[in-house]
Chain A
Amino acid sequence: MSGTVKRLVRGGVLLNLLYVPAMALFAVFIFWPFLKGIQISFTNWDGYNQNFQWIGTDNYSRMFGDPDIKTVVKNTFIYGVGSTLFQNVVGLLYALFLNTRIRTRGLVRTVIYLPVIISSLIMGYIWYFFFQYEGGAINDLLQLFQDQPANLLGDPKANVWIIMFVNTFQYLGIAMVLFLAGLQTIPREYYEAATIDGAGPLARFRRVTWPLLAPSFTVSVVLNLIGGLKLFDVITAMTNSGPGYASASLSTLMYLLYFGREDAGYAATIGILMFVIISVVSLFALILLRRREVPA
């Protein structure tokens, strides 16, 4: 090793240089398009024309007066917060169950994790066939008890929750794996000490498992929140955001505005709103959850 390289390694410079390709890629494919997105949100660009006008904050004032936005933001929160809640509760229960010495542990873990590896678009289509009006499996069952099939995906009051359920079902495995990994890092001695002190299963969970699982909880919640808040594929496959925009999320609305309504300027504005919502919610969750983390 030459003297220069040695000095670079010792000074940590070479290590820092290794960041450069990743940073450059980030700058080109994430940061630069993000800045362009902000720029476009102040224009009336239709998405393909070489010419467009600056319209100041018109898109932003339009967004606050848009009757569809309220529904779409509400849906986005149902997909984000609802999925996170169910994924973590059920994922934790599965992890606790699989952390015991049962024989089929490996098999159960694989089965629960399996949906994660399926494309979410395909998952949406699979569930569409379950819920569809004519010939859908759910309706075949329902018709054992009632005459008419239920138009579940066409009902705006039901389809948002169905989509949330499908997203929960698919990514449950990630929460489970994170919790399982967290559970396996908790030393057995803590449980033994707690048992000697007279703690029952519930007290052991509350006093030992729950606080020491906090780091896994933070990662799982933040990942699920971000994934749920930008949900796209399942919605497109199951309802195409419909009826109208009744089941749209901010992601699908942005796509529909850009490509369908040729309203790229406004779509960029929706993108900025989505960025703000995801940033604020996930940062808030991160700060809140970090506070309750304790070192193992």
Chain B
Amino acid sequence: MRNAAFALLAVIVAFSVALFGCSQRPSNSGANPSAAPSGGAAGPSGSAQPAPSGGGDKIRLTVYSTIEEPPNQEMMKSIASDFTKENPNIQVEFQFPGSEYENILKVKMAANDLPDVFDTHGWAIIRYGNYLADLRDQPWASQLTDSIKPVVTDKDGKVYALVMSEAKDGITYNADILAKYNIEPPKTFDELMAAAEKIKTGSGGDVSPFFMSGVDNGMIGGFLDIFATSMFISPANNDAQALLDGTFDWNKWAELAQKLLDLQKKGYLNKDVLTAKYSDLPQRFAQGKVAFVMGAPSFADDVHKINPNVKIGYMPAPATADGDAPTFSGGERYTMGAWKDGKHLEEAKKLIAFYAKPENMSKIANATKLPSGLKDIQSQHEFSSYYEQYQDIRVFPYFDRVYLPNGMWDTMCKTGTSLIAGSVTPQQFADKMKSEYERLRGQK
């Protein structure tokens, strides 16, 4: 019996040791196999690798990015490759998890094991703030544009990330369709609705004025987010303070929900709004079946692959209040922040500084076709003229990032989809927003 107990104990201990070994985080720096004692380590052919001739251990920086387009991913890698040429002991390993990016990062945050450098995609302070190093002493920090600086800087002056591309979300439109129906880019919401009506009737229903997706329901959330700014934040008499201090009258949300519902009731949305996917958009846009899309023209390259002759236009979101002007909703698009507890924080900062060089920032701006987050960066691409034309338009931070507690974006998107499906009324939508707002505020 004693022998059996001993054997059982031995197996458990052996297994625990094995598990313990498995749970160790791989060392990024000291894992050079050649550092192992050489006696008997080489394989049959004696192929043990020699130490790198540069001397010192190789450092591998892990970088997570939200960039999804393959050419832009290659552009990022090519800059990293230039960096490695200058710093032969630092290797940069990119990960582009695509749509799973947020989920992966959340799991990594829960495990307190983040990449050395990662994209904060609009959540530098609210979500990732506790995990990011202060970059205020970096040479590029003072060059952040006036519109983006407050987005990634807190009240104590901590700078959370390098903003490689700044978001200025308005409405992307098919310029050929607007020209065909003799429509000027609308400046007010009423003009936008009039344009939608003209397109719908003029095309006999062949052109859908707006395209949204209930499956990738961020598009529906995008409409609500952009026009929430236009309704509640941008006008001279606004609700910004009430939203911040929790006294906002959520019945007002029903008016915004009604605007979304009207789009559907009046036949301005694609008929398959509930089941269409974002991936359906480029083809329909290229075929001239869609006139307006909320948000930035990030799908432009996919459209041009199908039909290179389509002219894509871009404009700010029209004003919803009388006497108000159009607006952009903005913030971070592509960024680089450094994990404050990373083993290679200094190298991570060095890498970020390399990306912040004007020539690299220009490459990024030209590839992503987005305004740079640093001042005086030259760029020339398809949408440069639009950004120049609208450079004086006010840019407000994304509504949900500032005025809604973290976690409400999904409620907004899902309930917006239910609204279009007819499962909830605008007032029920407003009630849902109110209850979630209060619940989430209460637990923060």
Residues on A close to B: CB < 8 A? 4, 7-8, 11, 13-14, 17, 20-21, 24, 28, 44, 46-50, 53, 55, 132-134, 149, 151, 153-154, 156, 239-240, 242-246, 256, 259-263
Contacts and interface: CB of A to CB of B under 8 A. Distances in A.
Interface in B81-96: none
Interface string B404-444: 00111111001101101101100000000000000000010
Going nearest first, the 3 A-B pairs with the smallest beta carbon separation are: A244-B418, A154-B274, A133-B272
Contacts of B272: 132-134, 151, 154
A24 B22 CA distance: 14
Contact of B417 (A46, A151, A242): A242
Nearest to B273: A154
A48 B110 contact: yes
A17 B8 contact: yes
Interface size class of B (residues with CB under 8 A): 35 or more
A156 B423 CA distance: 9
Best-buried of B7, B102, B408, B409 by chain A (most CB within 10 Å): B7
Interface in B1-33: 3-4, 7-8, 11-12, 15, 19
Contacts of B110: 47-48
A217 B367 CA distance: 59
A243 B109 contact: no
Interface of B: 3-4, 7-8, 11-12, 15, 19, 102-103, 105-107, 109-110, 112, 127, 130, 214-217, 271-276, 280, 406-411, 414-415, 417-418, 420-421, 423-424, 443
Contacts of A55: 443
Contacts, number: 113
B109 A49 contact: yes
B173 to A, nearest CB: 21
Given A133-B275, A154-B275, A239 B12 contact: no
A153 B418 CA distance: 14
Contacts of B11: 17, 20-21
Given A134-B280, A262-B106, 9 more contacts: A8-B3, A11-B4, A46-B406, A151-B275, A154-B274, A244-B417, A244-B424, A261-B408, A262-B406
Contacts of A156: 421, 423
A269 B212 CA distance: 32
B307 to A, nearest CB: 17
The prevalent SS among residues of B at the interface is helix
Contacts of A242: 214-215, 217, 274, 414, 417, 421
A7 B2 CA distance: 12
Contacts of A13: 4, 7
Contacts of A46: 406-407
A44 B443 contact: yes
Contact of A262 (B15, B107, B407): B407
Contacts of A256: 410, 414
B275 A132 contact: yes
Given A134-B276, A242-B215, A154 B421 contact: yes
A47 B103 CA distance: 10
Contacts of B217: 240, 242
Contact of B275 (A24, A48, A239, A260): A239
B214 A154 contact: yes
12 contacts: A8-B4, A46-B406, A47-B110, A48-B105, A133-B275, A151-B271, A154-B272, A154-B274, A154-B421, A242-B414, A259-B103, A259-B106
Contacts of A149: 271
A48 B110 CA distance: 4
B391 to A, nearest CB: 35
A7 B106 CA distance: 52
Given A134-B272, A244-B418, A259 B406 contact: no
A246 B423 contact: yes
A17 B421 contact: no
